[in-house]
């Protein structure tokens, strides 16, 4: 036994009914609008209840001349006011259950209607990247031409389902917005989504417009935001921050980094440059009491720190030479065997230099600047030293690499000692007692 079924149309919360059929009538003549759904329902219920609506209003409220017949809705003496959508709403019972269905026809009056086919202008096969969780407002723009919005049905579907059946309270179709441009009618309908979820990706969101002449649609598909460029931007930003941080650290903590590296790695490095001393110290030597400050620094403070604490080997004229040695020869030989040349400067040494100091400076600067055998380290014990009165070679060194300024407030781990150690050579595996053995051989065999 074959049975014929008809889909049930729900009209709740939807802008009236879909226009499915088109009927024509001539002015001042009678016409019957047929109920096309009735034929299908009769096979299920012989006595269905039929109610007629015009533009979603009961026909009794619209016009008293319209008469419901077994063939349909009779409209005598048709006028322009009778043009519109006519819906037969059918209530019927099948197997003990009540159902509702309908069909809608648009009645077009010959010579009176300027109805046109509607057109969805936007969207048309569009894709949009949307971040999950963000709010979204999609606008459907529709061209109506000269037609009236009352003759047109507009709605959104999600994955080909009406919003009522999609059953998501976060998704709402907003009211229509009508406007005119160049005497043409347009309408916009927004679809508001509060918090996009993953199940809305890669499915069609369709704007549908239809009237008695045609049905037109426009689709848009949501895609997840491509995080590749975001990750790239974050990577570049983090890399830039790390680079700036590295530059900052290297600039302001360069000395600590180098000294730490020397402490951790340099003890395993063997020095093979043939030098006997890490530094040769030159300080002002005069018979005046003013030289006491320079002598204390050169003979007590400097050796205490560099030799006793950090293991460097210094040569200081007046402390290390042997009695009877030729001073110029000792100066020349020991400077050439030293890796650094430390020159201590004071204000009064500019005019009261001892001949030994002058000799040391001349030989040391010649070895450093001309022969390029060692590096010079300048240490100021006084402020505001007039370098214009010093030899040009010292002025050149001061301008090229600067000076270290000593004061009594410098602690044992102060910045002055870190800068001095930074400019001193790296420690080697040659132990202090081996250097002392070399020094002992020089004392035992002075000639």
User: Among 159, 190, 224, which residue terminates a domain?
Assistant: 224
User: Do 132 and 41 touch, CB atoms closer than 8 A?
Assistant: no
pLDDT (average), residues 330-359: 74
128: pLDDT confidence band, cut at 50, 70 and 90? very high
Q: Quote the percentage of the chain above a pLDDT of 90.
A: 24
Same domain, yes or no, for 64 and 88?
yes
Average pLDDT for the chain: 80
Same domain, yes or no, for 189 and 328?
no
Separation CA 17–CA 23 (nearest Å) = 16
6: which residues sit within 8 A by CB, 6+ positions away? 37, 40, 41, 44, 101
Same domain, yes or no, for 289 and 323?
yes
**Count of the separate structural domains present in the chain:** 3
CATH number where 386 lies: 3.40.50.10140
Same domain, yes or no, for 105 and 140?
no
pLDDT at 52: 93
Closest CA to 344 of 415, 408, 295: 295
Residue 389 has pLDDT above 80, yes or no: no
pLDDT tens, residue by residue, 43-93: 888 889 999 998 888 998 888 899 999 889 999 999 888 888 899 999 999
CATH number where 103 lies: 2.60.40.10
On whether residue 249 sits in a domain, the answer given is: no
Distance of CA 207 to the CA centre of its chain: 35
User: Do 187 and 142 touch, CB atoms closer than 8 A?
Assistant: yes
| Most confident of the ranges 10-14, 203-207, 292-296 | 203-207
Residue 425 has pLDDT above 90, yes or no: no
pLDDT at 11: 40
Between 223 and 251, the higher pLDDT residue: 223
Closest CA to 428 of 276, 226, 251, 325: 276
Instruction: Return the half-sphere exposure (C-beta side, CA atoms, 13 A cut-off) of residue 25.
Output: 26
Separation CA 185–CA 152 (nearest Å) = 12
Same domain, yes or no, for 213 and 68?
no
Q: In the beta sheet, which residues pair with residue 109?
A: 25
Q: How much helix, strand and coil, in percent to the nearest 5, is found in the chain?
A: 35, 30, 35
Closest CA to 7 of 39, 40, 42: 40
pLDDT at 322: 78
Residue 383 has pLDDT above 90, yes or no: no
Please tell me whether residue 224 adopts helix, strand or coil conformation: strand
Q: Quote the percentage of the chain above a pLDDT of 70.
A: 79
Separation CA 173–CA 206 (nearest Å) = 12
Specify the length of the chain in residues: 447
User: Among 109, 143, 172, which residue terminates a domain?
Assistant: 109
pLDDT (average), residues 279-290: 74
Separation CA 82–CA 75 (nearest Å) = 8
The dihedral built from the CA positions of residue 267, 268, 269 and 271, taken in this order, carries a sign that is positive
pLDDT (average), residues 119-143: 92
On whether residue 8 sits in a domain, the answer given is: no
On whether residue 241 sits in a domain, the answer given is: no
Please tell me whether residue 20 adopts helix, strand or coil conformation: coil
On whether residue 384 sits in a domain, the answer given is: yes
- For residue 301, the 8-state DSSP code is I
Same domain, yes or no, for 289 and 165?
no
Phi, psi at 187, each rounded to 5°: -145, 145
pLDDT at 274: 79
On whether residue 408 sits in a domain, the answer given is: yes
Between 7 and 140, the higher pLDDT residue: 140
Same domain, yes or no, for 101 and 157?
no
Residue 164 has pLDDT above 90, yes or no: no
Does the pTM surpass 0.95? The reply is no
Separation CA 283–CA 302 (nearest Å) = 11
On whether residue 231 sits in a domain, the answer given is: no
pLDDT at 410: 66
Same domain, yes or no, for 208 and 274?
no
Beta pairing, strands 84-94 & 97-109: antiparallel
Residue 166 has pLDDT above 80, yes or no: no
pLDDT at 357: 64
Number of Cβ atoms within 10 Å of the Cβ of 110: 11
- The DSSP line for 181-205 is ETTEEEEEEEEEESS--GGGBTSEE
Residue 28 has pLDDT above 80, yes or no: yes
Same domain, yes or no, for 89 and 148?
no
On whether residue 421 sits in a domain, the answer given is: yes
Closest CA to 204 of 167, 156, 165: 156
On whether residue 7 sits in a domain, the answer given is: no
Separation CA 447–CA 443 (nearest Å) = 9
Least confident piece of the model among 82-96, 110-124, 359-373, 421-435: 421-435
pLDDT at 220: 95
Residue 209 has pLDDT above 50, yes or no: yes
227: pLDDT confidence band, cut at 50, 70 and 90? low
Same domain, yes or no, for 431 and 295?
yes
User: Among 54, 88, 109, which residue terminates a domain?
Assistant: 109
pLDDT at 438: 45
Same domain, yes or no, for 431 and 356?
yes
Same domain, yes or no, for 368 and 334?
yes
Please tell me whether residue 61 adopts helix, strand or coil conformation: helix
pLDDT at 447: 40
Structural domain harbouring 62: 21-109
pLDDT (average), residues 211-233: 82
From residue 90, how far is each of 99, 214, 227, 378 by CA, in Å? 8, 25, 53, 108
Number of Cβ atoms within 10 Å of the Cβ of 86: 27
pLDDT at 15: 45
Residue 31 has pLDDT above 70, yes or no: yes
């Amino acid at each position: 036994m074959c049975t014929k079924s008809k889909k049930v149309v729900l009209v709740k919360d939807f802008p009236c009914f879909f226009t499915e059929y088109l009927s024509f009538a001539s002015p001042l003549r009678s016409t019957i609008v047929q109920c096309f759904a009735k034929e299908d329902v009769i096979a299920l219920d012989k006595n269905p209840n039929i109610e007629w609506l015009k533009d979603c209003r009961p026909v009794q409220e619209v016009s008293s001349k319209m008469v419901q017949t077994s063939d349909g809705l009779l409209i005598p003496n048709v006028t322009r006011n009778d043009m519109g959508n006519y819906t037969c709403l059918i209530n019927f019972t099948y197997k003990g259950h009540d159902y509702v269905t309908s069909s809608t026809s648009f009645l077009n009056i010959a010579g009176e209607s300027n109805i046109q086919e509607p057109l969805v202008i936007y969207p048309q096969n569009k894709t949009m990247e949307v971040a999950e969780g963000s709010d979204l407002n999609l606008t459907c723009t529709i061209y109506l031409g000269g037609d009236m919005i009352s003759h047109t049905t507009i709605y959104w579907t999600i994955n080909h389902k009406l919003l009522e059946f999609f059953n998501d309270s976060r998704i709402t179709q907003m009211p229509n917005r009508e406007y005119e441009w160049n005497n043409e009618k347009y309408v916009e309908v927004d679809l508001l989504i509060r918090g996009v979820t993953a199940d809305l990706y890669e499915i069609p969101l369709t704007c549908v417009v239809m009237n008695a002449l045609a049905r037109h649609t426009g689709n848009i598909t949501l895609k997840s935001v491509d995080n590749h460029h975001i990750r790239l931007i974050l990577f570049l930003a983090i890399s830039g921050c790390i680079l700036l941080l590295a530059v900052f650290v290297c600039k302001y903590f360069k000395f600590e980094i180098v000294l730490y590296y020397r402490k951790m790695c340099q003890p395993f490095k063997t020095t093979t440059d043939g030098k006997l001393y890490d530094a040769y110290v030159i300080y002002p030597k005069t018979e005046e009491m003013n030289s006491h400050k320079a002598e204390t620094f050169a003979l007590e403070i400097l050796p205490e720190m560099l030799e006793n604490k950090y293991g460097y080997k210094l040569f200081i004229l007046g402390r290390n030479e042997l009695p009877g040695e030729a001073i110029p020869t000792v100066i020349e030989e020991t400077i050439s065997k030293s890796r650094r040349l430390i020159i201590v400067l004071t204000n009064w040494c500019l005019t009261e230099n001892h001949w030994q100091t002058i000799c040391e400076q001349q030989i040391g600067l010649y070895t450093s600047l001309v022969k390029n055998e060692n590096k010079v380290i300048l240490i100021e014990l006084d402020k505001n030293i007039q370098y214009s009165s010093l030899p040009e070679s010292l002025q050149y060194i001061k301008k090229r690499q600067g000076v270290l300024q000593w004061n009594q407030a410098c602690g044992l781990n102060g910045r002055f000692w870190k800068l001095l150690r930074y400019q001193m050579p790296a420690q080697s595996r040659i132990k202090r007692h081996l250097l002392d053995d070399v020094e002992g051989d020089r004392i035992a065999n002075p000639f």
